[in-house]
Structures are given as structure tokens and as C-alpha cells.
Amino acid sequence: MTTVELTRFRVEPSRVDELLQARPAMLADFRADRAGFLDARLVRLPGDQWLDIVTWRTPEDFATSRAKGANLPGISAFFAAIAELVSAEEGAEESIPGS
């Protein structure tokens, strides 16, 4: 069962390009440095908000990643474009038989 990280945050309109330009390097840093990182999707929401949906192999992988914080330049640049953390949640992805 994989772990899903749901992080909702706000980005000032003037920094959206910065956020999007930083995303590829952030993902590359995650792939290089974060054991158990599987994938990530970034969703633009109304009201200058975004939702980052990140999938991890295990809850332990996610916890280890969280403890590292913005330890690499690509991750730091992405986080720097964020004005405000709105919410952060963690859940388990369930497999549905026959789907």
C-alpha cells in the first residue's frame, strides 16, 4: 500500500512562473535523493492555490523525506516560490480488487 502526500499551498501570481520553472529540478532532486519517491502531480486550483499530490512507496519513505526538508537546490527553489502552506495531509492509497 503506497502513501499519498497531499500538500495545498498558495503562490503569489507574480511567482507562478518561478514555481513552474523550479518544478523539473525539484523532481530531479527528489528522484536522486528521496528513497521511495514514486511520482508527483501538481494541480492548479482557484484562488492562487495549488495541490501537490506526491506518491511514496511507504509512510517511512515519506517521513524520511519530510525530515530532509529543502536540502537540495532544486527543492529549495521550488519551496521558495510558495507564499503560504494551506494544508498538508497523508493517506494510504487503497487497491480496489478488479479495477
pTM across the whole model: 0.92
Which spans in 1-99 are helix H?
Answer: 16-33, 59-68, 73-80
Predicted pLDDT of residue 99: 62
Of 22-26, 58-62, 69-73, 95-99, which gets the smallest average pLDDT? 95-99
pLDDT tens digits, residue range 62-94? 999 999 999 999 999 999 999 999 999 999 988
Separation between Cα atoms, residue 34 and residue 43, nearest integer Å? 21
Fold classified for 3-89: Alpha-Beta Plaits (3.30.70)
Sign of CA dihedral 57, 60, 63, 68: negative
Give CA–CA dist 90/62, Å, rounded: 9
